[in-house]
Amino acid sequence: MEKLSNPQKTIEVIKKHGFDFQKKFGQNFLIDEHVLDKIISAAEITKEDFVLEIGPGIGTMTQRLAEAAREVAAVEIDRNLIPILQETLAEHDNVTIINKDVLKLDIAELAREKNGGRPIKVVANLPYYITTPIIMSLFESGVPLSSITVMVQKEVALRMQAQPGTKDYGALSLAVQYYAEPYLAANVPQNCFIPRPNVGSAVIRLARYAEPPVHVKDEKLMFRLIRASFNQRRKTLLNGLKNSPELSFSREEILEALARAGLPENVRGETLTLEQFAALADVFADMQI
């Protein structure tokens, strides 16, 4: 079959099947060969790899993944796309099409079945409204992961790789950087998609750490502190922690913890590194014993 990255071919397939784009699924199909090259290159796909693709659409990237990988599982939530995928991927016998919500899929079981439990590579063109939940679910679920290479809203990609003290730095930056090393592989303009999205996009690769870069006694407590510190971004860390519904520390306890962690009482959360949040979480954990 002719490559679907050809815009005329994409339009032909859509018209042939009478496909209607579903706003609720945030569907934007990629139609640029150079961007596909950058995604495949960034993901470092080899013939040894089992790849989980989330949101294959009509199979544009799936075709390329099938050529580069040993095996591909393409998970598509929209059942109207399944017959299209079955047609566009018919010549690839190393692709399994799964009609399911990826958040309800047992990916660990899929990795055991298809890859002997070894780390898998994830490639995705995600609807922007659900990018963060899917990425964090993959990291937090303990699925064996090598990397996630994903098309996201450019603003989200910038937040994922942001450093302390910058305007893009926030809870998402810290969450992603606790689990993986982010690398911005490409900026993608709006005219690379059908239909054109309203925002610019970017391809970002998240290389999963074998071990987190910091060791913390209570991971969940650390993330509660992080969320609290950015919920009221303009406030001091003291006020952010004191006003958080997720935390029950008194003002005096927070002041004591800040002092023990070597932080001034007027410090703002947006200036703290992941290491400093881990150290502060350890102080609070010790105070609770």
For residue 288, pLDDT over 90 is answered with: no
CA distances from 189 to 108, 162, 166, 176, 233 (A): 34, 21, 24, 24, 30
H/E element, 285: helix 274-288
- Residue at token pair 């989980």: 52
Q: What is the mean pLDDT of the chain?
A: 93
pLDDT for 13: 93
267 and 173 in one domain? no
Number of domains in the chain: 2
Which of 208, 232, 255 is the last residue before a domain boundary? Answer: 208
In a domain? residue 69: yes
3-state secondary structure 22-79: CHHHCCCEECCHHHHHHHHHHHCCCCCCEEEEECCCCCHHHHHHHHHCCEEEEEECCH
252 and 138 in one domain? no
250 vs 267: CA distance, rounded Å: 17
83-96 average pLDDT score: 96
pLDDT tens-digit profile of 104-129? 999 999 999 999 999 999 999 887 77
Q: Are 98 and 62 spatial neighbours (Cβ–Cβ below 8 Å)? A: no
pLDDT for 26: 77
3-state class percentages of the chain: helix first, strand second, coil last, to nearest 5 = 45, 20, 35
Which of 208, 233, 266 is the last residue before a domain boundary? Answer: 208
Pairing of β 50-54 and β 71-76: parallel
272 and 185 in one domain? no
In a domain? residue 51: yes
96 and 51 in one domain? yes
pLDDT tens-digit profile of 147-171? 999 999 999 999 999 999 999 999 9
Which of 154, 177, 208 is the last residue before a domain boundary? Answer: 208
pLDDT tens-digit profile of 184-240? 999 999 999 998 888 899 999 999 999 999 999 999 999 999 999 998 777 899 999
Show Cβ contacts of residue 30 under 8 Å, excluding neighbours closer than 6 positions: 5, 36, 57, 60, 61, 125, 151, 192, 193
H/E element, 224: helix 219-231
CATH number at residue 274: 1.10.8.100
CA distances from 228 to 91, 131, 182, 244, 284 (A): 51, 21, 23, 6, 14
69-89 average pLDDT score: 96
pLDDT tens-digit profile of 50-76? 999 999 999 999 999 999 999 999 999
CATH number at residue 144: 3.40.50.150
pLDDT for 20: 86
Instruction: Please name which of 219, 162, 156 lies closest in space to residue 188, comparing C-alpha atoms.
Output: 156
For residue 79, pLDDT over 80 is answered with: yes
Q: Computed from CA positions of residues 79, 82, 83, 85, in that sequence, does the dihedral angle turn out positive or negative?
A: positive
pLDDT for 198: 87
In a domain? residue 213: no
End-to-end CA distance of the chain: 64
pLDDT for 1: 63
For residue 142, pLDDT over 90 is answered with: no
Q: Are 136 and 172 spatial neighbours (Cβ–Cβ below 8 Å)? A: no
